[in-house]
Structure 1
């Protein structure tokens, strides 16, 4: 978990890609080495880092077969002025549990990859909270938490997200030891082509919790799922 957020002197902008998905051949170990990059708002180099992986050295042998494409879903985030040094933050989330499911996972704060993508935890038993947006328990705006749904070999806890009933209780544990309780108000599959990122990542209006993974049909020719599963929960 990141210890502190540097001040953002510039606007946070552009398209965030939500993946809670993985269609890759990984071991059954609960800490698979998969990264699902998500195009995300850009930030200054002192926050997200600016290093880019160096190219592999030239070789006369044939290159290895590339891994399967990563599932993606485009979501546009409106330009926001941000200065974390001037904005007090709520305690960060550290756990997420959804009643009646196997979804009981650690939550880590995630930022932006070197390729301007939102980070998603490698482990299928962790979820990522987008730390440049509102926190759970904020006065306004949406707190967004996302995770992988499966691998080629295993169905993971977040595969149950699509079946969560309205009225289900969602509990978010905070780093200060408190817990926040939400009630599910809506669960739906949203085609990735129509996902409204401005709504998902909004920073104003009534506070909501958004829990997101992938769903719908796996489109092998595109290396992606057709939909995102979006759960909306309201504070109690």
Structure 2
């Protein structure tokens, strides 16, 4: 499906721009949860709690010691911890900068020209251009979360321009990309930019899509789509 055009440019792009729900099974929005700060601890509490109660004092002077003090043991240094080797990326997967990895599921557009959503939290549907294509978007779509579990594509909400993304195709070849654009759009606003983001003309690019923002339920789930565009590195 190298550089495959949309079935019918205007209508199909608008339909796919809904990108399906890609919602989670709860209202978790990546990056918004913060832990409640712990109450401050005063110096008296921190130090006094560790000190024993003072015992009775004495004025008796102990006799001088005739035994030499043992030499202090030489100081030791903890070994420098070596950074762990990055785990090998499996064939047929996409890996984000934070280590999130999803298995690629090659797919065609559905009967209504919408992009099928993956069946698993750790999968990403792949539509559009092949990785070796000179033109067109390789579109990967994944869930943000499901029933309290966070998916790899939740990392898109922390993505920044310059981040690296790697794809290993089913044959084991690695394709490197670097993020060039990060976009958050309300689902109602996505059709107007669908050709620009998902179209099969223009330079080759990787387009990663998930949901997020405010949970609205119903057919939409979340109100927004997070779209990360990456160019060959």
Coarse TM-score class (shorter-chain normalised): 0.5 to 0.7
Question: Are 1:186 and 2:181 matched, yes or no?
Answer: yes
After superposition, residues 79-90 of structure 1 pair within 5 angstroms as none
The structure with more radius of gyration = 2
Structure with more strand by fraction: 1
- Runs of 5+ unmatched residues, structure 1: 26-92
Query: Contact 1:111–1:118 (CA<8 Å) still a contact in 2?
Result: yes
State the alpha-carbon separation in 1 of the partners of residues 100 and 214 from structure 2: 21
* Aligned-residue CA RMSD (Å): 2.5
CA contact (8 A) 1:21 1:214 kept: yes
Give the C-alpha shift of residue 150 in structure 1.
1.1
Deviation at 1:141, TM superposition (A): 1.2
Structure 1 residue ranges (4+ consecutive) displaced by more than 4 angstroms after TM superposition: none
Conserved? CA contact 1:126–1:147, under 8 Å? yes
> Structure 1's 128 and 20: CA in aligned 2 closer, same or farther, altered over 3 A?
farther
**Following the alignment from structure 1 to structure 2, what is the Cα–Cα distance between the partners of residues 138 and 159?**
27
Map 1:134-149 → 2, pairs under 5 A: 134-149=129-144
Report if aligned partners of 1:128, 1:147 keep a CA contact under 8 Å in 2: yes
Instruction: Go from structure 1 to structure 2 and tell me whether the alpha carbon gap of 1:112 and 1:208 turns closer, same or farther (over 3 Å shift).
Output: closer
5+ residue gaps in structure 2? 27-90
Secondary structure of 2:171's aligned partner: coil
How many residue pairs align between the two structures?
A: 159
The two structures have a TM-score, normalised by structure 1, of: 0.60
Q: Looking at both structures, which has the greater relative contact order when contacts are Cα pairs under 8 Å and sequence separation is at least 6? A: 2
Aligned with residue 172 of structure 1, among 163, 167, 179: 167
Tell me whether 107-116 or 168-177 shows the greater mean CA deviation.
Answer: 107-116
